[in-house]
A and B are shown apart, each in its own frame.
Chain A
Amino acid sequence: MNTIYLDNNATTKIDPLVLKEMMPFLTDYYGNPSSMHKFGGQVSSDIAKARHNLASLLNAHPDEIIFTAGGTESDNTAIYSALEAQPEKKHLITTRVEHPAILNVCHHLEERGYEVTYLNVDEKGQLDLEELRGALRPDTALVTIMYANSETGVIFPMHEIAKIVKERGIMLHTDAVQAVGKITIDLEKLPVDYLSLSGHKIHGPKGIGALFVRKGVSFRPHLRGGHQEHGRRAGTENTAAIVGIGKAAELAQINMEIENTGVKHMRDTLEKGLLKTIPDAIINGDTENRLPNTTNISFKHVEGEAILLMMDGHGIAASSGSACTSGSLEPSHVLRAMGVPFTFAHGSIRFSLSRFNSDDEIKVVLKELPPIIKRLREISPYKNEESTPRSCSCK
């Protein structure tokens, strides 16, 4: 059975062209780019090309790109760098819907004496910019706000956020892991100080990411050791992966149009079809400001993992922000922050598409999913009930 892969916000298929570009660096050109000899040194121009491609995708300067091991390292580096550069400032601002690579660092920092303000989101998953404005303090070292949410695809108004934060001269980081390659990001126009991205979300390899650090912005390396990346990130370069992310960035730039037309069209067809055929289904999040590839749908009175497992039986791979798949027992922190009612939150499914999906695949999902929901509802004790949760001490 062929897999219909609709979980591209988790990770993406490596584009065959990316793989082709990487292969020589996994076989013939294995030299260490830092070596004095020609065999190693010859690959440095390929690394430079990759850096250039990433810079071009973001309209930044190649010198502003540092290769890292992925989005998580980029996020951690940006946060620690900003804090180390301003040791007297002990306050951070972020949102309640960030990726764990941000939230867990913030929790860790709280244990070490920092104060963190977690901005709320409304039922659409959007921020209140007045709340952000009110949270800024003289001792705020960094504001870190994601560009687009991985679970709902909701895009935050980053230009307005940057305006508010930079007016006060405070450092700003954005975790743009989900946004890069899907929507235009122009760093010449967007005055963030740091921006994180990851290779495997843009059809590149895993284990490689990048951090944009604006020229002139203070930076402290997170990994110290050799002088790689001009001393900003030690460790022998993962040449093949760097070449891979470079190619992925080049292709993302070329295919951005497809993301916003073809992929979006498939997503919309899927969404409309499901809403039409399945009663008691809702879309979570702001549908106006949303990534073109993502939809997060909740089905009342059924539980996400059960849906996923049944879809898996039909070769359909998606993901659920519901309790049981994530290892924790509560529904996704993003949906909870948005106040999605429990009746819906437990039965949420995220479909995230890519340019490798096809209309035929969407047709299959539209055929297979409605009976799955129907079947699970038949088993449910709530099948004839309204959505009000019965009394329970749960919050």
Chain B
Amino acid sequence: MWEYTDKVREHFLNPRNVGEMKDASAVGEVGSLACGDALKLFLKIDDNDRIVDATFQTFGCASAIASSSALTELLKGRTLDEAAEITDKEIADYLGGLPEEKMHCSVMGHEALDVAIKTYRGEPIEAKEHEGNIVCHCFGVTDEMILRTIEENGLTTVEEVTHYTKAGGGCGNCIDEIQLLLDEATGKVAACEFPDDRPHPNLSNIERMQLVMKVLNEEVRPRLKQDGGDVELIDIDGHFVKVALRGMCTSCPSSKLTLKNVVEKALQEQVEPEISVVEVSK
């Protein structure tokens, strides 16, 4: 049995806001019986685009029920714009965390909300919902969805993608494709495509260190600072550059992507292609 927080258990055993809302302004429905979990979200929205009530019906495991309950609590009182900002992580955090393997339950909440808001705004859901190409046929997950989830949650492994989206959790035929998407999102593909000629061939240790510092100080840090973040160089060990994220970057869910796509990429391009950036806590 999974390790659930008390709050997950509480919301599972006593879910808030259960049931169909007959006079709902918007309904968002995702999942299916075949997929093993499904959520129907009902919203009542006032004239100022504020959600005054939210209810749900869920078919699924304990965390799916708890996540749905949490979502409805989070939604009440928010405007649609504010509601649209809710992330999977926020739903999970509200519950004091979910086991990694159960993160797809909070993702489902996020999707249902997306569908409900789009319905209300008259945006085309069908087209949007199936935007992109289906990667995982067992669970009907598209590349768009996988890429968004990787980015929002800083995922780095196929296993994590499976936990968050279910893609890859069935027959496993899509695993190679998920890996490709991960490589794309984390910049690895781009790194492989670098021309072989190195920017600075045969660097000595001291030269490498100086160059890394230069690129970090002149290029990377100013970029991160624009968003309230920063990065500090901790150590250089061969081609491993150890850094610590600072400021907004520390709490940013995409910090891993920042490390790969911004910091590592800049160093690979301007110092040596073999460089790997690792985050250390200091």
Residues of A with Cβ closer than 8 Å to B? Answer: 301-306, 308-310, 312-313, 322-325, 327-331, 342-343, 346, 378-383, 387, 389-395
Contacts and interface: CB of A to CB of B under 8 A. Distances in A.
**Which of B32, B38, B59, B137 gathers the greatest number of chain A CB atoms within 10 Å?**
B59
A345 to B, nearest CB: 9
B171 A389 contact: no
Contacts of B18: 378-379
A329 B18 CA distance: 25
Interface residues of B, number: 40
A343 B169 CA distance: 18
B234 interface: no
A394 B60 contact: no
A341 to B, nearest CB: 9
B268 interface: no
A10 to B, nearest CB: 12
Contact of B57 (A304, A346, A379): A379
B132 interface: no
Contacts of A312: 1
Contacts of B138: 330, 394-395
A392 B39 contact: no
Contact of A329 (B65, B140, B166): B166
Given A342-B34, A382-B38, A305 B140 contact: no
Interface in B132-174: 134, 137-140, 162, 166, 169-171
B62 A305 contact: yes
B84 interface: no
B12 A309 contact: yes
Contact of A382 (B9, B35, B59): B59
Given A390-B32, A394-B32, A330 B137 contact: no
Nearest to A385: B33
A393 B58 contact: no
Contacts of B104: 329
A327 B140 contact: no
Given A303-B60, A381-B59, A394-B138, A346 B170 contact: no
Given A306-B65, A394-B140, A380 B101 contact: no
Contacts, number: 111
Contact of A395 (B1, B62, B137): B137
Given A302-B59, A380-B59, A322 B38 contact: no
B29 interface: yes
B195 to A, nearest CB: 36
Contacts of B124: none
B187 to A, nearest CB: 28
Contact of A392 (B32, B59, B170): B32
B183 interface: no
A330 B169 CA distance: 7
B32 A324 contact: no
Given A303-B59, A309-B1, A381 B34 contact: no
Q: Which 3 residue pairs across A and B have the least CB separation, nearest first?
A: A329-B169, A393-B140, A381-B57
Contacts of A303: 36-37, 59-61, 64
Contacts of B162: 329
Contact of A301 (B35, B59, B61, B171): B59
Contact of A325 (B1, B15, B37, B140): B1
A309 B62 contact: yes
Nearest to B39: A381
Nearest to A347: B59
A394 B61 contact: no
Nearest to A331: B36
Interface centre among A313, A330, A343, A389 (most CB of B within 10 A): A330
17 contacts: A301-B59, A305-B62, A306-B62, A324-B2, A324-B36, A324-B60, A325-B1, A330-B169, A343-B33, A346-B33, A378-B19, A379-B58, A381-B57, A390-B34, A392-B140, A394-B139, A394-B140
A259 B142 CA distance: 50
Given A392-B35, A392-B140, A395-B171, 15 more contacts: A302-B59, A303-B64, A309-B9, A323-B36, A324-B61, A325-B2, A329-B139, A329-B166, A346-B33, A378-B18, A379-B57, A379-B59, A381-B59, A390-B32, A394-B137
A330 B38 contact: no
Given A308-B1, A327-B101, A394-B140, A381 B13 contact: no
